[in-house]
Every structure is written in C-alpha cells, then in structure tokens.
Structure 1
C-alpha cells in the first residue's frame, strides 16, 4: 500500500523540514497531506511549491487541506475525512503553541483540545501504521533530578502554561498506546541547524544572545545567577533525523523518546560560550537571578532586552534528561546529537546576520 503522511503544524519550520526528511527516507514514496489554517494558506502554498520543486514531486503528491485542530473533526469536510481515513498510514502531530508566556486558555485550546481532536481522527484511520506525537521533554514541569523517558508523572507544579498543557496533551496520546501504534517524541530546547545555524525564530538560547547584543556597549557583563542548571539544547537537524528514523522503526511503536543532548552544558557555560563568540569577552561578576527577574518584570526593559522573563526559570531548574532509550534505538543509524560547541559558530553567525530582521524575533509581552 502507498504511504499517506498526514501532518499538522505546516508550514512551520520543524514540520516542513520533517516532511522533506520523511520523503527522502522513503525514496519519495507516498502522498503528503498537510492540515493548514486559513490564515496560513498563502505561506503554506509557497512552502508546498518549494518542497515540490526541491524534491521533484508530482503536483498530486502534496495535498493541502484547510482545517483547524481546535475544531471538531479538525474542520475537515466530511467527504475529505472519508478518503483520508482510507489513504493515511502515518500521522505526525506537530501543531501546538510553544510560547513560554502564552496565556493558559489559549495554550489549553490549541495544545490539549487540539490534540484531543487529532486523536479522534487518528482512531478512525483504517490503515494507520504509526501515530507520531511531538511533545516536549519539559512535560516534567518542576520535577528535578534524573528524568526518564518511561515516566509520565504529573509534577507538583509547572514553570509555565506551555509545559502544563503539553503534559495534559501527552497524557491523552499516551492513553492510546494500547489501541494504536504510537511514538512520542520529547525534544529538548530546539536550536538552529548544527551546520548552517538556520532557525525560524530567536527564542530559547537566542534570548541569551539578545541580552548580550543589547548590552554589548557595557564595559563588562556579569553572569546571571550561578547558572548551575543544565540547559538541554538540541539542533533541529538531530530532531528531524532521529524522529524520522524512529517513526519508521518497528520497535519504536509504543515508546516515548527523549531527543535531548546526552551531554548537556550548564547555563553558565552556554552563556560564557556565547559571550566569547559574540563579543570576545568573558563574564565578570554575578548578577543575582532575583535581580534579573525583577528587571524582566518591567515590560519596557524585557522588550528592549528581547528576553521573556519565563526563560529565567530554566537557569535554576535542576533536572537532567535520561535519553538511554533513544540512544539505544538509534544505534547503527549514524544519527547522533552534535556537541553544542560544534554548532556554536554557525548558530552565532546566523544570529548576527539576522539579528535586525524582525521576522525572527518573537513578540515579548
């Protein structure tokens, strides 16, 4: 039977890269179906054409379906649902809101209700071979210590509504593991491509670079707190390659994978690496994190610095992701997470080229 790949989250950067990798891995066999919001249709049409041209696909091998995961039946017309139920073999659910500062009601509607609706669609697919759900390693909330892929434990609290709603959504998917073949992907904090530095937005570690760039005029810059926490940064190319491999690996069904850096660096090390690369300086002194949070509680200051105040919570959170299951199942594939320092120059070079381009900067509220 011909493969039918159904994706949510198109034309997002991770989704469009994953589509390319899935098609290449399967020698362009199969038809791609992407669910697209009406408001994203123009961008989706352009990205579809780019993929068709790049891979030499036939026009009918890439189908755009207008819809919305937050609506019943994903707002897909009934006749379209009927033929999708017969055609789709693999579902990749990536659509979500990833902003750390997102209000709870918006996060819940998109991340939880949206996933519930996708689950209903998936359960009706006649020829389903794999349902791949993109979660996050940070469903652990404020739990600390060593955190395992085999666990899905509700923490006492979460650092933000993004974490909470992604946890709730993963619970919904995890419950279906006994009924259908599911692979859950939990990435760390996604950064740009390890070789090209390309990314779609400047968040996560790029907040550090915004901070350093805006304050580079100062004669010295201190560290922010002790910075003892491990910050798990993972390049997009590792996420894409590992996800594709594990999604078609027979023993990957029924498993959850931490696609995290097995050898992460501490926050203070990453901050120092970035400062040296961007400014050829080393940090001097220490600014208490409480003072940093106070500064970022002032809206004009955090907008000027280009830093979400919620990001500072990851400088003090003492969790460590065990990724043994992912590493074991990736053995023999040639797919490994590159060392953060190996991708440092491409990362900073891309940032410096695009630092004045507003399309890469997220809105700081």
Structure 2
C-alpha cells in the first residue's frame, strides 16, 4: 500500500499519519509547502520513521503544484501508484472569512482532485464536515447531501461545495467522511488550537477561580451539539478507508448520541472544578415550541444580525468568544451514523463518553493553550527577558510553570534528572516561539548541585528567579516507619538539603546582580500538620524556617523569598496514593498560577484560607486540633503501598470523601 496525504501537519492529519504508521505498511507521501519543510521534518523525526516522505507543493496551485516528474513516477500503471489519497488540507474555522474558505476549501479540493486524477489513485478520501448539512432541520442521514438546506456561513457553504466537487467531478473512486466538532485526543487531551467548545474554557476558568464549585448557576437549554475526539476520527478514517466495496459512500464520524449543549459545558465545568449550570425547564415540555422561540433558536437568530454581532464582538472578545461562534452553539440537524456504525462493527473503534475524557481535554488546554499568562501586561513586565531556574521541570507544577514563564517572555532553565523529558519540553517551548535552557541534574546529589550552580552562573546572563519545586512526598505512619529511617533521610536530602544547596550556590551571583527572588514550593501540611506526613512536612517546614531566617540576612542585597504553602495538587507525586483519586485537588496549572503570582508580587507567603485556619487552630486550640487530626488518622488508613500490600477497597470511603471535601486541599 502507498498513501498520499494533504494536511498532514494539521491536527487530524497528524493523527491519521500516526494511525497509518501504526497499523499499515508502505510509504506515506505528504504534501508540504517549501516553507513548511522544517516543520514536517521535525514531525517525521518525532515519529521516528523513514516511511513518511515529503512532497513539495501548494494547495492553491493546479494539481497542488506537484512536479510532473513525480506524478509520472507515481501514476498507476506506469509508476509505483498511490492506493489511497487522503485530502484533509482545509480550513476548520467558523471565524475565517469568505475568501480564505473559498481558496482553501473549494479551490484546494479541486486541485487535490486534479492531482488524484492525474495519478489515477485507487481511492480519493475527502474529509468533509457535518457542516455540509447546514441548517437542515431533523434527521440527516449518510445518504443525504443536497436537500436544499440553508448554508449560514462561508465555512458551511464551502464544505458543501467542496464535497459537491468530489461527488460530481471525480474520475477516480471516492469516499466522503463528515466529522462532527473535533476536539482533542481522548487519552492525552492533545489539541492544536482554540476552537469549538474551547472558546468557552476561558469563561469556565473565570467561574472556577471566582465561585465555589458547589454553587449552582442558572442555565438554559441551548439545543444539541456533537463532539468527537480526534483519535476516534483518525482511527475510523483508517479503518473505513481500507474496507472493500464502500466507494461512493459518505460516513458520519459523529457521536451517535447527540450531546445537549448544557451537558457538554457541565462536563467541562466538572473537569475544571467550576460550578455547573442547572436547566430548570425540561426540553420535553418545550418540544412543541417553534424553534425561533426557544433559547437556542433566539440566540441563533439574534447573533446573525450584523448590528447585534458587532455589539457582541466588543463584549465577548474580552472573554475570547467570537460572536460568530455564538451563532452556531448547536446543530439543527440530528446526524444519523448507522452506516458508519455498521462499517466499524467489530473493530473496537467507538466514540467514548465525553465525561470519561473531559478532564484530559481541560488539562491539556489549561497547560498548553490557555494564553492568559502571556496576555497579562503585569506578568510580562516582570518576567520578560528574565532567567527562571525551575527544578522538577519535567512534570507537574514545574513543567507548567516553565510553559507559563516562556509564554510571558521569560527563559525557563529546566532542571530535573531526566534529560529526555526536559528536551521534549524545550522543543514544545521553542515551537511556540519561546526559549528554554536544559540543565539536567540529580538534586539529591550535593556535588551535582554545586556543578550545576557553577554552570548556571558562568553561562547565564543572570539568575533572576529560582523555583524550588523538585520534591519527594512520603505518606506513611510512624508505626510503619520504625524500620524505614531512610524515608526521612532521603526526603530531607531532596526537599531540604538539595533546595538550600542550590540557593546557597546561586546567592553570590544574585548578590552581584543586587536582585533575585526564590520561590519555595512548600505545603499546606506545614500549617495543618496532617498525620502520616511526618517525613514530608518536616522537610518542608525546615525549608520554610531556613528561608525565614536567611531572608533577614539577604533582603538588603535585593534577594527575597516566597514560601507557597500549596494545597493538594493533582501531580504524578500523589498518584501512588489511590485514596486521592476522588479527593478535591487543584490542577498543576492552578498551582503554576500561584508560582507566577509569587514571582510577580513577591509576597513573603502565599497561603490558602484553610491553611491559615489550620495554623490559627494549632496556635489557639492545639489540643482540639490534635484531636481532629487523630480522628482523621483513624478515618484515613495507611495506603496499600505504605503497607507493602495490593490495594483493597475501602470501607470508610464516604467518611473519607466528606472530610476531604470539608478540609479541601489538605494532604490526608
């Protein structure tokens, strides 16, 4: 088999090529513009293959601008031949203008067909969209196409017209695929841009940061939508393309069960920890109401009015929602996918439930696509051009902090044991136009830290910030620690000795600069003293105390400290404690926002309300505080890992979750 793919650097295209590499044999030729060759070569290097071969051309040129000699060498019957031609290059953007849609969607499809015809390919696979159905009302099945439907935007119109070109002008066998709204990968959350439901994520984040999660918000029924993850789309494309006897058919790559818009939004609210929307009126009571009188219909009509749209643009652009998107929050069509389901039967390929992967989508957006840090002029003023040493940068809080520092114009200096992960993070930062420095180091090795400090002071123009994030957490009761004194030694070695050795090694350079700020990632446990964390809390408390003492010595040199008493964060460090899977936690991105705040504002401490309450309780009513903690000690058992056992089901789970929610963020 051999393949030709347009749009291979695009979102769906990258996943399709990966799918073909994993499950098919043969060469994969990918169309690429001359200027995009470096990007394609980087992708090929990441895939680690010699089966992907770039072919220089252009979507806007006749026959895609591919050299005639290449066409002659790969024409069926006279050359090697192309079995499958996948045309994915297009614009997938409701906000794009008419000229762009026409040039890329319509013109690009015609030029792709010209090349496919010249090559006499085995089958031309056109990736269209459910947008071709326009505003058709009711059930739209896979045999339907031109039903006289209204096409409300340039995107809808050009998707319809490009599909029509394939249906009426192709001289080779063809198949059409109509994906619904494509979101990130269900397993990783990977997405390449803000589009579709992602436009609303900024609002959800604002609600989460300002309102308690338990507060119900009033909502309305905005109709149904349909979202599918990109890994489902690419897997279905690959599978259906290789089925025999399906030429001349269209396939709906959609969720067979349409999702009410408010349920989709609530899935992301739950993933973010934001309050959810309640819809007081059951849609079954309004099913006979004419659509223009329903909330969805009224919103659709209003947002299409030029005057209303111009007013909305001013208001909604502040929260990152284009007015055009509000006009298409729901589908009037219900997409029948029985033909696709039959084609996929027995393959194991299906659409996962959104609730099962909404958190992955949210987490990826929060860590990679949320650009609010870079847009904050206050943050950019403090971080642009600054060098920020971030320890533990290969994952969790450190990784997201590095991404945010780079977004704000700073240069993160990435420090951790594993060079490979640091190199991957630097590549991501550089792809986005930022800069990063990789300095692998084992921070439990004091001599390695000394060498690191020498390198940093010699090679960097300055050391402006140090984020002491690398750490080790151990949750084990004293009863189970009698023969494990090394737990205390290794925790203190990394969390305390490693951290202060790094700061002490960099202080001379900071003194010479007459400036520097150290951010210590401490723990809410220092204020609340939860049971079973004697090794971890003691190491963090030691770092706190050391920083408090030397602050008075160094403040005259322009060197300052912030201790962030971090609540429970959803990081790889807490993953071994399965008890935490159902506990309320903050995300690494929320934690990174606190680190950015520490660098910008430079307070002596950043605390949570609960952490402060715990500190006050230990000061004013210590006996009562220890009684409460002793109760928690009996409610939350030692983990199976601490006991050296296989995990078992808990018998006091309801009590545990109740206490965890009451004392949100405390490490139990």
> Shorter-chain TM-score category?
0.7 to 0.9
Secondary structure of 2:191 counterpart: coil
Secondary structure of 1:252 counterpart: coil
- 8 Å contact 2:177–2:252 — kept in the other structure? yes
Q: Which runs of 5+ in 2 are unaligned?
A: 281-294, 375-406, 408-427, 429-668
> Structure 1's 225 and 90: CA in aligned 2 closer, same or farther, altered over 3 A?
same
- 8 Å contact 2:133–2:160 — kept in the other structure? yes
Displacement, 1:157? 2.2
Match of 2:433 in 1: none
Q: Which of 321, 330, 335 is equivalent to 1:307?
A: 321
Do residues 38 (structure 1) and 28 (structure 2) align? no
Distance in structure 1 (CA, Å) of the matches to 2:216 and 2:107: 44
Distance in structure 2 (CA, Å) of the matches to 1:329 and 1:151: 18
Secondary structure of 1:251 counterpart: coil
* Count of matched residue pairs: 347
Match of 1:226 in 2: 221
Distance in structure 1 (CA, Å) of the matches to 2:274 and 2:302: 23
Secondary structure of 1:124 counterpart: helix
* Structure 1 residues 1-365: aligned runs within 5 Å: 3-26=1-24, 29-51=25-47, 53=48, 57-58=49-50, 61-85=51-75, 86=79, 87-126=81-120, 128-176=121-169, 179-216=171-208, 219=211, 225-227=220-222, 229-283=223-277, 289=299, 293=303, 294=308, 297-357=311-371
- 8 Å contact 1:185–1:259 — kept in the other structure? yes
- 8 Å contact 2:109–2:162 — kept in the other structure? yes
Distance in structure 2 (CA, Å) of the matches to 1:310 and 1:48: 36
Distance in structure 2 (CA, Å) of the matches to 1:63 and 1:232: 35
Provide Cα deviations, 1:158-211, integer angstroms capped at 9, x if missing partner.
Answer: 23111110100000111256x422111100000111121111112111112122
> Structure 1's 65 and 316: CA in aligned 2 closer, same or farther, altered over 3 A?
closer
Provide Cα deviations, 1:307-340, integer angstroms capped at 9, x if missing partner.
Answer: 1222222335422100000001111111111111
Distance in structure 2 (CA, Å) of the matches to 1:88 and 1:258: 25
Distance in structure 2 (CA, Å) of the matches to 1:296 and 1:320: 30
Secondary structure of 1:139 counterpart: helix
Displacement, 1:217? 5.1
Distance in structure 2 (CA, Å) of the matches to 1:242 and 1:119: 22
Instruction: Kindly report structure 1 stretches of 4+ aligned residues shifted beyond 6 Å.
Output: 284-288
- 8 Å contact 1:160–1:310 — kept in the other structure? no
- 8 Å contact 2:267–2:354 — kept in the other structure? no
More helix by share: 2
Match of 1:363 in 2: none
- 8 Å contact 1:223–1:268 — kept in the other structure? no
Secondary structure of 2:328 counterpart: helix
Provide Cα deviations, 1:40-81, integer angstroms capped at 9, x if missing partner.
Answer: 222111112212x1xxx33xx322122112111211222122
TM-score of the aligned structures, taking structure 1 as reference length: 0.87
Distance in structure 1 (CA, Å) of the matches to 2:182 and 2:135: 19
Displacement, 1:236? 0.7
Displacement, 1:249? 0.4
Secondary structure of 1:257 counterpart: strand
Distance in structure 1 (CA, Å) of the matches to 2:104 and 2:21: 27
Secondary structure of 2:18 counterpart: helix
Distance in structure 2 (CA, Å) of the matches to 1:137 and 1:88: 28
- 8 Å contact 1:159–1:313 — kept in the other structure? no
> Structure 1's 83 and 154: CA in aligned 2 closer, same or farther, altered over 3 A?
farther
Q: Which runs of 5+ in 1 are unaligned?
A: 361-365
Deviating more after overlay: 285-294 vs 266-275: 285-294
Secondary structure of 2:327 counterpart: helix
Distance in structure 1 (CA, Å) of the matches to 2:361 and 2:277: 20
TM-score of the aligned structures, taking structure 2 as reference length: 0.49
Distance in structure 2 (CA, Å) of the matches to 1:84 and 1:281: 57
Displacement, 1:38? 2.7
Displacement, 1:134? 0.4
The structure showing larger relative contact order (alpha-carbon pairs under 8 Å, at least 6 residues apart) is 1
> Structure 1's 298 and 90: CA in aligned 2 closer, same or farther, altered over 3 A?
same
Displacement, 1:252? 2.5
Secondary structure of 2:232 counterpart: helix
Deviating more after overlay: 216-225 vs 63-72: 216-225
Provide Cα deviations, 1:194-236, integer angstroms capped at 9, x if missing partner.
Answer: 1211111121111121222245455579566531x21100011
